[in-house]
Amino acid sequence: MHTLIQKFIDNRRYLIKNGVTLELTEGDHSPFIFIDNPVIIAAFAGFIKNHTTDCEVYFRGEPGNYAHVVPSLFRDNGSPLTDNAVIKNRYKAYMELKNEVYEHFQKRVSRFKKEDIDNLFQHYGIKSPVIDMVDNIYIAIWFAQDGNTSGYGYIRLIQTASPDLAVSDLRKNHSSLSLRLHTQHGLIAKKKSGYLEQKQYLL
């Protein structure tokens, strides 16, 4: 990713000469590019997608440059859980709730699949082991700035090459009546391995 960022900057020196800020920063938790123009942010997103041929690349808007992407189920006050016993208990409780809800829906709405419950929980504010992503850079910008008081938002680029990562396109899996999912171009990602230790849920 570092090489692609530098290549994008090198190929667009004319933008810098015309006042657009394009700065590669090595610090914090990962290299990132600072861009102060929303149109050029879209161009950068397209450049990354165009030059990543072995997998898909999606976006996640965040208010800070965090070390990891952590599902809400495994966070407390914004920080990742570190006690593996607590992690195990949370995941067990989540799966019990998920199974109960699935059985409830099966008796009334047979079109629901078990994996739909993760999506349902995530979008109604229940802590879950999945990560929201979008396939629209401007929606990612909105999420990065919504409620952000720091003045800066971050767009994380998530590539899906890892065999341990299961990605679900919510537009394909849900009716068009679920307008929010289609408006946001929403996706979710989930680790395939069991959530029994901290290292297994970090993304």
The span from the CA of 179 to the CA of 34, in Å, is 32
Contacts of 169 (CB under 8 A, 6+ apart): 135, 187
The span from the CA of 191 to the CA of 166, in Å, is 6
pTM of the model: 0.82
Under the banding of pLDDT at 50, 70 and 90, the label for residue 181 is low
- Beta-ladder partners of 132: 188
Task: Please give the DSSP secondary-structure letter assigned to residue 2.
Answer: H
Q: How many Cβ atoms sit within 10 Å of the Cβ of residue 121?
A: 20
The span from the CA of 75 to the CA of 43, in Å, is 33
Mean model confidence pLDDT for the chain: 84
For the chain, which residues make up each domain, given as ranges?
Answer: 1-51, 65-152+160-201
pLDDT digits 0-9 by tens, 154-173: 999 998 888 888 887 776 66
